[in-house]
């Protein structure tokens, strides 16, 4: 039901032309689509009713994630919903939730997570962004949706170690955003410079890494669903082309090299999807297996999407790498999503950490 | 999809668990019996209590259980080390074929004894010249009154030596195109005219046989489906084969290799701390987990009344190669000692070395990797078939290279 | 095979090195010139001193150098960052084709100016409907007296916009089977009847063009080979194409990624200490090294007078995929920041991101991975060709799906 | 010249039946073949003339190694020639060389290297075999050709750290050998128990690991040549079968799945072979690049042989895993050679070590 509704909605409101307009234009997202998504209530999906949300489960959100991934939607959904909203739910005080969750639910505010400070994995030992006496100073780069966010959740250090902070973006020169070009211009990114910006502690001081890990475990499942959706769309595009395009008097899809390539895509996609079902179940029930299920979903989804997106281009031959074809949408998005909350290698490592915990 | 038991499922699981606890044979009961004897003892006990082939209709000796109940039962039974592999072809392939194609009398005669384990069945499809091209079989059956006379050779027959009956496809008309000249039968494996020779594998084992037919006679009443309809009947069997062979690879998996890596050192630390080892294990874990939940999903589909598709080919395609690479990797972890195949000297009783030698067979038996990829491409994705140069040509005129 | 210079080779290397040291243009000399201008300046300087196309015969502007000397020269020249890519098609593909198929007058007229860089050539083979099936081209040439009239569209033409001449294959007879109705020409790219439109790639660049022909006229004297012999002539060009395209992937290789890994931390240590990173780099190093020495071996074969085979396809097959995976890996090493494509903000001036976006083209241009694998299977290993449903059928009757 | 001679010799004296006889019999090697190899002078190839050898270079030895690998020869050539002989050349005193090299050259004595003590990589920190006052105590397992060797080079520890020792095998109960079954019964292996065995220091005390590394670098190139030879033979066998065997009315070698599989074999084999040429050059000239060239040869040869040997079986379908077919020879030998002087993972690590040295 929800799936059919979502598919219908996105077919109408997020055809390839919408993605292309953001790719080729100056906007960081498609504002029209975003407004309609808000009207659909998707941003409110897993926010409790008391804070103005719909109080639905992560299973519903997984369905939405997959469909947004399938159409490569150019909107800040992941930043605002999987990350900012969940960070508040996870660690926010009642006041913080009351203040921000209704605004995130109605889309009045777009939220994001500011974690990275350049190349490498951010951790308590290497972050430089620093809080002192309620103000924050330092640089975060890249931050998804930095240019359109009203609220950012920032990983920073203080006397007590790494913590998360809530920072309102509208603070004049104290919070300066510069756009940053990425591999996937259909999703806006920026650099944020905090210069004595007002910042409010989110959750316990010194618990930033622990909270971040929890938050990323949750987000990993939802990112994985977006990736699986995209991988599936790439496979369908490749299949369609392989049936239509002829070489040497027969469809290229009748050659084993192409058949087996697409069969491999199907296999990788199917395994990733099955892992994601398990991830969604673990997420929605709050099961202890979440860290393992999340890492498994994430690693297999990264691999499936990379493979499907690059081999979709390959299946298209010369057409595949022309600007006018849409194969590039998946290729760009696959790579962006594969690093956006930590790389394949980082999640492989987390997977085995979680596995060790389960075995022990 | 829900990954926890519903109240009804939990109750069923409890019942199954309790029965198993009380009825699994002790080591002493098994003592002195060979593999076949042990398997028959256990199967009969299950049958008598209504726990054999539980998804079958009650009239054939089953319990009419749902697919989910079947999985619950299998999961619970798998917690014990019990014999039973000798029944997998009869119960998993011959029985579904009989259910679909045999008449009521034959069903009543054979199915209950398949369920009880009193009669063991084997399958005789492959031939030396056939391979992946199963329908290219040449063993012929010629009609003689109410009987057929069989001559030729089958190969790769598991369990022929201890089987009571066998299902097979034979060429009854070489003058028509390949798939159209075949007819399907079941036969008495103890009847005259059959000679069985074991095939030794590179692992040293001999799980398969060559079966020679010399003027063997079978009654026309043992035909399943019409004359020339054998390929269609065989497809029923084959769809069930791919579901029943599964991934294979035995016990070599992330669990065993992870534990091995904990015991082996690299640079003075357990190998589980080595990032390269971790990355490999993570990838394999993703495959195992993906396969497990894919089969659960197929099951959910089943329980919603949908037919399971050739998606099951994934299990075999991914699982066999993965087991080969994992066995190879586990051997490497042991460095030079990894070459040792003596169960007394080698880690985990040489399980990795045994798997390494046995696994090439699993990548081939029941359809090679390449055939599996074709099945997925054609039947799941709907891509065109390979160009067929033998299409529509009388069987006797197809090029063979011989 | 010897990996050190012989005395003669060492002397040649010294001479080349000395000349380069004295003659490589300074930045100031290049100032104000575009890529084409810079390339022409440098090419002319080499030509005047006898260092252009050194393996060509002296009569065509070369130096008659041996294959080994050619490699030594290329190695030494590659130590400087110099322009010259615009000549690779003309000198690498058009020239060998002219040498084999053109008459003496044409050779004398065109080859020296190819060597000197005064005239730039392009190649027009691919068509929208063609792809891997190159011979399926449809752009037609119809004879009109001593001239041919060309109509149709070519695509994927590099450098069409700055080229003086082009080589191309055209369909001159659609009523005979595909490969038999083609004829090969060279044309003046500045002549009337040609329209050039750039093709934008996903990397944002536009290295290729579509070229439209409308009643363009070319003299029959510009035909290479006989009428209907175009495919044979094209093969000369293509064999040289695969050798000249090579592995690609630009500067992304073990050297650059290793250095990047030294600068990036994992668990508080340089990523080069991470076993998973090391294992990946080791595998890629083996490929790079293997490709390098494979090309040296091909060269040794060349210097022994043997013809280089389609073994060169290995370079493209392995190299392009490797570059794609390495770029992806280097992006991953940078974690979230790996997505940044701004040369001012991204490691090594966003080289990994640029390569990642450009590389899909390299896996396709000049023959896809799949075509390369076919070439190796058929021409090196001698395996049978794919089944051809278009064989012997008049071109106009081959199924096209359109 | 040498290659043709070697090929002719081995075609006559080491057909598959010879390999099969050792596989199926009780012998640890083919004594007849070994005697003829000695007569050919192959065991003397790189031993200096002053010690009774031919004084040829490693280039000649590489050719022999490749050909022995191609026919999966069941002889102790690698143990005696690449390891024991080279250890003596590398670290032996003049007396030691004078005593042993002529015997190794004439094949009067078979030598071997006793390094492993069970699962894992042996190093100075974990070996238990111990020398004290000229006697050795401890267990080595597995040791190639232990049952037929007259001399073993043993890695053991003493007060000064890890060292190499020369041990004569004929010492009664002080040196006890038990046969050990491996994946490849065409090459004998055993366990050696030293119980106060007479042992003579080889090279400087405490330099065992350094010497072993040097020795293994050299041996890696020669093992790699054997592996490349075997991989090439596996490819040829697969190709032959693919041309002969028909399915669906045409040779299986006309299907892209098989064609591309064999093309991949060819690519891996060719890259490995090219690396081996470089390795042989570095070995024969004593170039500084040897550690890097050796590791590169070894890693790519391991990968090529594993792939070729398993996919050769796969190409053969059911026939491939029957005992009566010879596909198993390559599969067994590939795996044995891949661990016999350290695994792929160990050599990947050494490759990067060497690369770092070269870069620094």
- D positions 239-268 inside 8 Å of A (CB): 255-257, 260
Residues B222 and B178 in one domain: yes
CATH number assigned to the domain comprising residue C40: 1.10.540.10
Phi, psi of B141 (to 5 degrees): -125, 125
| Whole-number pLDDT of residue C299 | 73
Give the domain range for residue B38: 7-119
| Residue pLDDT, tens place only, B260-281 | 999 999 999 999 999 999 999 9
CATH number assigned to the domain comprising residue A224: 1.20.140.10
Query: Which positions ≥6 away from C21 have C-beta within 8 Å?
Result: none
Q: How far is D66 from chain C (nearest CA, A)?
A: 16
Residues D101 and D8 in one domain: yes
Residues B17 and B57 in one domain: yes
**Chain A residues closer than 8 Å to C353 by CB:** 183
Contact call for C279 and D348, based on CB within 8 A: yes
The answer on pLDDT for B245 being more than 50 is no
Contact call for C342 and A180, based on CB within 8 A: yes
Please state, in angstroms and rounded to a whole number, the distance separating the CA atoms of residues B132 and B375.
12
- Give chains near C: 3+ CB pairs under 8 A: A, B, D
Matching residue, tokens 């031993």: D47
Contact call for A299 and B282, based on CB within 8 A: yes
Q: Chain D residue closest to C287 (CA)?
A: D271
Answering whether pTM is above 0.90, one says: yes
Given pLDDT bands bounded at 50, 70 and 90, which one contains residue B291? very high
Residues C161 and C219 in one domain: yes
How confident is the prediction for chain C on average, in pLDDT? 91
Q: Chain B residue closest to D125 (CA)?
A: B268
The β-bridge relationship of strands B121-124 and B165-171 is: parallel
**Chain A residues closer than 8 Å to D256 by CB:** 255-257, 260
Contact call for D278 and C311, based on CB within 8 A: no
| Residue pLDDT, tens place only, A289-346 | 999 999 999 999 999 999 999 999 999 999 999 999 999 999 999 999 999 999 999 9
Residues A139 and A102: beta-carbon distance below 8 Å: no
Please state, in angstroms and rounded to a whole number, the distance separating the CA atoms of residues D144 and D164.
17
- CA-to-CA dists, residue C113 to B143, C47, C62, C107, angstroms: 82, 10, 11, 10
Closest CA to A222 of A2, A30, A65, A8: A65
The β-bridge relationship of strands A151-158 and A111-114 is: parallel
Matching residue, tokens 């070590």: D353
Residues C109 and C134 in one domain: no
Task: For residues C261-288, give the mean pLDDT.
Answer: 97
Structure tokens at D358: 């070269």
The β-bridge relationship of strands B265-266 and B269-270 is: antiparallel
Task: For residues C124-128, give the mean pLDDT.
Answer: 92
Phi, psi of A107 (to 5 degrees): 75, 5
Given pLDDT bands bounded at 50, 70 and 90, which one contains residue C402? low
Matching residue, tokens 């808000």: A38
Identify the domain boundary among D53, D74, D105: D105
Identify the domain boundary among A154, A175, A203: A203
Contact call for D119 and B337, based on CB within 8 A: yes
- Give chains near B: 3+ CB pairs under 8 A: A, C, D
Given pLDDT bands bounded at 50, 70 and 90, which one contains residue B246? very low
| Whole-number pLDDT of residue B70 | 87
Burial class (CB in 10 A: 0-12, 13-18, 19+), C196: middle
**Chain A residues closer than 8 Å to B286 by CB:** 271-272, 275, 296, 299-300, 303, 351
Q: Chain D residue closest to A261 (CA)?
A: D257
Q: Chain D residue closest to A254 (CA)?
A: D256
Residues B166 and B97 in one domain: no
Residues D216 and D297 in one domain: yes
Contact call for A255 and D255, based on CB within 8 A: no
| Residue pLDDT, tens place only, B45-54 | 999 999 999 9
| Whole-number pLDDT of residue B390 | 85
Please state, in angstroms and rounded to a whole number, the distance separating the CA atoms of residues C275 and C269.
12
| Whole-number pLDDT of residue C250 | 61
CATH number assigned to the domain comprising residue A17: 1.10.540.10
Residue B390 belongs to some domain of the structure: no
**Chain D residues closer than 8 Å to B200 by CB:** 322-324
Which residues of C touch chain B, with CB atoms under 8 Å apart? 266, 274-279, 387, 389
The answer on pLDDT for B247 being more than 50 is no
Q: How far is D349 from chain A (nearest CA, A)?
A: 18
Closest CA to D291 of D234, D345, D218: D218
CATH number assigned to the domain comprising residue B225: 2.40.110.10
Of A180, A314, A336, the CB nearest to C369: A314
Contact call for D260 and A257, based on CB within 8 A: yes
How confident is the prediction for chain A on average, in pLDDT? 97
Please state, in angstroms and rounded to a whole number, the distance separating the CA atoms of residues A85 and D18.
72
Give the domain range for residue D67: 2-105
| Whole-number pLDDT of residue D294 | 98
Residues D168 and D148: beta-carbon distance below 8 Å: no
Residue C373 belongs to some domain of the structure: no
Structure tokens at C18: 């000395």
Residue C236 belongs to some domain of the structure: no
Residues D273 and D352 in one domain: yes
| Whole-number pLDDT of residue B68 | 83
Please state, in angstroms and rounded to a whole number, the distance separating the CA atoms of residues B75 and B81.
12
CATH number assigned to the domain comprising residue D138: 2.40.110.10
Residue B193 belongs to some domain of the structure: yes
The β-bridge relationship of strands C208-219 and D111-114 is: unpaired
- Give chains near A: 3+ CB pairs under 8 A: B, C, D
Most distant pair of Cα atoms in chain D: their distance: 73
Identify the domain boundary among C99, C119, C139: C119
Residue B66 belongs to some domain of the structure: yes
Residues B48 and B128 in one domain: no
Helix (H, G, I), strand (E, B) or coil at A218: helix
Structure tokens at A164: 């998360």
Q: How far is D184 from chain A (nearest CA, A)?
A: 33
How confident is the prediction for chain D on average, in pLDDT? 97
Residues A347 and A228 in one domain: yes
Q: Chain C residue closest to A344 (CA)?
A: C332
Residues B114 and B160 in one domain: no
Burial class (CB in 10 A: 0-12, 13-18, 19+), B274: buried
Contact call for D245 and B132, based on CB within 8 A: no
Phi, psi of D246 (to 5 degrees): -105, 145
Residues C60 and C157 in one domain: no
Return the percentage of chain D with pLDDT > 90, whole number. 98
Residues B115 and B137 in one domain: no
Structure tokens at C289: 């090294």
Please state, in angstroms and rounded to a whole number, the distance separating the CA atoms of residues C61 and D209.
59
Please state, in angstroms and rounded to a whole number, the distance separating the CA atoms of residues C140 and D175.
84
pLDDT greater at residue A359 or residue D106: D106
Residues A176 and A262 in one domain: no
Residues A56 and A154 in one domain: no
Structure tokens at D130: 């111990």
| Whole-number pLDDT of residue C246 | 44
Residues D81 and D137 in one domain: no
The answer on pLDDT for B304 being more than 70 is no
Return the percentage of chain B with pLDDT > 70, whole number. 94
Please state, in angstroms and rounded to a whole number, the distance separating the CA atoms of residues D328 and D313.
8
Q: Based on the structure, what is the number of domains in chain A? A: 3
Is residue D285 within 8 angstroms of chain C, CB to CB? yes
| Whole-number pLDDT of residue A163 | 97
**Chain D residues closer than 8 Å to A255 by CB:** 256
Identify the domain boundary among B67, B91, B119: B119
Contact call for C277 and B277, based on CB within 8 A: no
Residues B12 and B103 in one domain: yes
Q: Which ranges of chain D does DSSP label H, i.e. alpha helix?
A: 2-13, 16-24, 31-39, 58-70, 77, 86-91, 94-106, 208-244, 256-285, 290-316, 327-340, 344-359
- Locate the DSSP E strands across B177-221: 182-188, 194-199, 208-219
Contact call for D257 and A256, based on CB within 8 A: yes
| Whole-number pLDDT of residue B242 | 55
| Whole-number pLDDT of residue C245 | 45
Residues D238 and D269 in one domain: yes
| Whole-number pLDDT of residue C352 | 97
Residue B384 belongs to some domain of the structure: no
Please state, in angstroms and rounded to a whole number, the distance separating the CA atoms of residues D45 and D60.
7
**Chain C residues closer than 8 Å to D242 by CB:** 383
Please state, in angstroms and rounded to a whole number, the distance separating the CA atoms of residues C167 and B164.
73
Residues D76 and D189 in one domain: no
Contact call for B277 and C275, based on CB within 8 A: yes
Q: Which of C275, C284, C293, C313 to mutate to test the interface with D (most CBs of D within 10 A)?
A: C293
Is residue D247 within 8 angstroms of chain C, CB to CB? no
Q: Chain A residue closest to B291 (CA)?
A: A271
Helix (H, G, I), strand (E, B) or coil at D146: coil
Contact call for D271 and C294, based on CB within 8 A: yes
- CA-to-CA dists, residue D10 to C69, D7, D194, D240, angstroms: 39, 5, 36, 20
Structure tokens at A333: 């998005």
Please state, in angstroms and rounded to a whole number, the distance separating the CA atoms of residues A40 and B212.
69
| Residue pLDDT, tens place only, D156-170 | 999 999 999 999 999
The answer on pLDDT for B305 being more than 80 is no
Task: For residues C94-104, give the mean pLDDT.
Answer: 95
Given pLDDT bands bounded at 50, 70 and 90, which one contains residue B395? confident
Identify the domain boundary among C197, C229, C261: C229
Query: Which positions ≥6 away from C81 have C-beta within 8 Å?
Result: none
Contact call for A345 and C276, based on CB within 8 A: yes
Residues D334 and D219 in one domain: yes
| Whole-number pLDDT of residue C6 | 86
Residue B387 belongs to some domain of the structure: no
Q: Based on the structure, what is the number of domains in chain C? A: 3
Identify the domain boundary among D105, D130, D147: D105
Residues C358 and C258 in one domain: yes
Q: Can you list the residues of chain A whose pLDDT is less than 50?
A: none
Residues D214 and D349 in one domain: yes
Give Cα B120 distance to the centre of its chain. Answer: 14
**Chain D residues closer than 8 Å to C376 by CB:** 263, 266-267
Residues C142 and C173 in one domain: yes
Q: Chain A residue closest to B279 (CA)?
A: A348
Given pLDDT bands bounded at 50, 70 and 90, which one contains residue C309? low
The answer on pLDDT for C293 being more than 70 is yes
């Amino acid at each position: 039901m929800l799936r059919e509704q979502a598919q219908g909605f996105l077919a109408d409101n997020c055809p390839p032309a919408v993605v292309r307009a953001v790719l080729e234009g100056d906007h960081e997202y498609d504002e029209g689509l975003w407004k309609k998504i808000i009207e659909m209530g998707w941003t409110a999906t897993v926010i409790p009713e008391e804070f103005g949300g719909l109080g639905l489960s992560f299973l519903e959100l997984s369905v939405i994630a997959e469909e947004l991934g399938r159409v490569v939607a150019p909107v800040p959904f992941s930043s605002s919903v999987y990350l900012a909203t969940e960070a508040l739910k996870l660690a926010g005080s009642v006041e913080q939730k009351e203040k921000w969750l209704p605004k995130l639910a109605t889309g009045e505010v777009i939220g994001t997570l500011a974690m990275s400070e350049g190349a490498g994995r951010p951790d308590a030992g290497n972050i430089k962004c620093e809080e002192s006496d309620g103000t924050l100073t330092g640089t975060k780069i890249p931050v998804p949706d930095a240019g359109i966010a009203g609220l950012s959740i920032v990983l920073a250090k203080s006397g007590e170690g790494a913590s998360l902070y809530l920072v309102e973006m509208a603070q004049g020169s104290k919070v300066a955003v510069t756009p940053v070009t990425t591999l996937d211009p259909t999703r806006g990114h920026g650099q944020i410079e905090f210069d004595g910006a007002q910042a409010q502690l989110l959750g316990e001081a010194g618990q930033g890494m622990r909270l971040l890990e929890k938050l990323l475990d949750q987000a990993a499942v939802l990112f994985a669903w977006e990736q699986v959706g995209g991988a599936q769309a790439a496979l369908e595009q490749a299949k369609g082309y392989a049936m239509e395009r002829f070489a040497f008097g027969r469809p290229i899809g009748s050659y084993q090299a192409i058949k087996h390539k697409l069969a491999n895509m199907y296999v990788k996609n199917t395994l990733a999807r099955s892992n994601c079902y398990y991830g969604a179940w673990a997420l929605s029930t709050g099961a202890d297996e979440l860290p393992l299920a999340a890492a498994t979903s994430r690693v297999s989804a990264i691999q499936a999407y990379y493979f499907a997106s690059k081999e979709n281009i390959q299946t298209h031959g010369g057409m595949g790498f022309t600007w006018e074809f849409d194969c590039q949408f998946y290729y760009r998005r696959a790579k962006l999503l594969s690093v956006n909350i930590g790389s394949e290698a980082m999640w492989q490592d987390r997977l085995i950490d979680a596995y060790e915990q389960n075995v022990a | 999809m829900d990954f926890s038991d519903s109240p009804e499922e939990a109750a069923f699981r409890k019942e199954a668990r309790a029965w198993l606890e009380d009825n699994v044979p002790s080591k002493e009961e098994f003592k002195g019996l060979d593999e076949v004897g042990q398997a028959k003892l256990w199967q009969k006990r299950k049958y008598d209590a209504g726990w054999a082939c539980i998804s079958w209709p009650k009239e054939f000796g089953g319990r009419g259980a749902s697919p989910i109940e079947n999985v619950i039962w299998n999961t619970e039974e798998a917690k014990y080390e019990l014999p039973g592999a000798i029944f997998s072809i009869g119960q998993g392939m011959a029985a579904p074929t009989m259910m679909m194609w045999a008449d009521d009398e034959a069903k009543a005669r054979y199915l209950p004894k398949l369920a009880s384990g009193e009669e063991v069945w084997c399958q005789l499809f492959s031939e030396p010249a056939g391979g992946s091209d199963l329908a290219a079989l040449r063993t012929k059956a010629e009609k003689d009154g109410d009987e057929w006379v069989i001559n030729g050779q089958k190969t790769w027959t598991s369990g022929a030596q201890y089987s009571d009956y066998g299902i097979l496809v034979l060429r009854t008309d070489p003058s028509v195109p390949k798939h159209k000249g075949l007819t399907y039968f079941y036969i008495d494996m103890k009847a005259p005219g059959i000679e069985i020779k074991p095939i030794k594998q590179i692992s040293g084992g001999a799980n398969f046989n060559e079966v020679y037919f010399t003027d063997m006679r079978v009654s026309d009443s043992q035909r399943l489906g019409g004359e020339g309809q054998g390929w269609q009947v065989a497809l029923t069997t084959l769809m069930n084969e791919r579901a029943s062979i599964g991934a294979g690879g035995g016990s070599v998996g992330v669990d065993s290799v992870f534990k091995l890596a904990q015991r082996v050192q690299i640079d003075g630390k357990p190998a589980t701390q080595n990032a390269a080892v971790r990355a490999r294990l993570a990838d394999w874990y993703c495959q195992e987990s993906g396969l497990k939940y894919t089969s659960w999903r197929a099951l959910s589909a089943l329980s919603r009344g949908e037919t399971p598709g050739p998606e099951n080919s994934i299990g075999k395609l991914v699982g066999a190669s993965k087991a080969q690479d994992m066995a190879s990797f586990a051997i490497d972890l042991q460095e030079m000692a990894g070459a040792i195949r003596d169960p007394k000297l080698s880690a985990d009783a040489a399980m990795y070395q045994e798997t390494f030698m046995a696994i090439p067979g699993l990548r081939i038996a029941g359809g090679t990797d390449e055939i599996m990829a074709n099945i997925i491409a054609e039947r799941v994705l709907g891509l065109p078939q390979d160009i067929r140069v033998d299409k529509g040509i009388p069987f006797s005129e197809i090029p063979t290279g011989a």
